[in-house]
Amino acid sequence: MRQFAYPFPMEVIAEILGVPLRDMDRFKQWSDDMSARFGPLSLERQIKCARSEVEFQHYFAARLQERRNHPQYDFLTALLNARVKGERPLDISELLSILKQLLIGGNETSTNLIGSVMLLLMKNPDQLKAVLENRTRIANAIEEALRLDSPVQGLFRTTTREVDLGGVRLPKGAHLELLYASGNRDESHFRDADRFDIHRTDSRNHMAFGFGIHFCIGAQLARYEGRVALESLLERLPNPHLVSGYVIEHHPHFFLRGLKRLELQWDPVQ
């Protein structure tokens, strides 16, 4: 994970944000710490994560000020030039919130996708064989991994009015965590839903990127990164398989799902 699945998406999002690649390790640490705050943490870890977020805010506030003084043809300058309903510019809290979402969403999810699709292929040799025999199946392998092991399991919502949900009466203003990824294993929608099957014709009908007006704006980038990553790994790693004794362990998190590590070995290149 740390040798490939971490740096690849991180380099891409750093390029999009127009920030130096030399700072990539800092971006990754900030991203990990800020997303970790949605999981079970000790007080010391909470304090460390809060400090990381402050460092992130100071760093990007300085980068935004640089763009104000010296505009460039890049994403940060475009954000500064954006207007809310054609009137006012975004304030600093709005700008930093957008950048935070892009930093986390632009690397954590793709990293988790790369790890999950490789693990699923390693655990299902027949599926790996099918992909190796026909590389056009890579795209569907990505969609099936997104369906079965969604990098984002759900998001938070607040009720705008009193409502009944699953037989439970919820008051207005109730805070909910909606795990929409469970719909990706709905047996009434996907046959044998708990099985990884790259030959499904309806894999793409998953909800890994949300739905409707909240559909993930980075979905196409994530799909593309996943395809490029899988193509590269399968091309460069002859006969990949899990290291003997490897134990699967995921990060503890309320709505992100990703491997802590993925240990692979492969045949020597001739």
For 59-81, the three-class secondary structure string (H helix, E strand, C coil) is HHHHHHHHHHHCCCCCHHHHHHH
- Residue 218: CB atoms within 10 Å: 17
Domains located in the chain, CATH noted: 1-106 (1.10.630.10)
**Rounded CA gap, 140 and 50, in Å?**
39
At 51 the pLDDT is 93
Tokens standing for residue 144: 């099936």
Whole-number Å distance between alpha carbons of 138 and 260:
24
Q: What are the CA-CA distances from residue 151 to residues 18, 83, 145, 163, 262 (Å)?
A: 25, 32, 9, 29, 15
Name the nearest CA neighbour of 254 among 147, 155, 110. 155
Q: What is the pLDDT along the chain (270 residues), one digit of tens a residue?
A: 667 878 888 888 888 888 888 888 888 888 888 887 777 778 888 889 899 999 999 999 999 999 999 999 889 999 999 898 878 899 999 999 999 988 888 888 899 999 999 999 999 999 999 999 999 999 999 999 999 999 988 888 899 999 998 899 999 999 998 888 888 999 989 999 999 999 999 999 998 988 888 788 888 989 999 999 999 999 888 888 999 999 999 988 778 888 988 998 888 876
Largest CA distance in the chain: 66
Distance CA 61, CA 19 (A): 12
Instruction: Confirm if 242 and 218 have CB atoms less than 8 A apart.
Output: no
The two structure tokens encoding residue 31: 């991203």
Distance (Å, whole) CA 154 – CA 177: 7
CA dist list (Å): 110 to 86, 105, 223: 33, 8, 8
pLDDT at residue 24 in the model = 83
- pLDDT at res. 270: 66
User: Buried (b) or exposed (e) across 171-203, using 16+ Cβ within 10 A?
Assistant: eeeeeeeeebbebbeeeeebeebeebbbebeeb
pLDDT of residue 119: 96
pLDDT of residue 46: 87
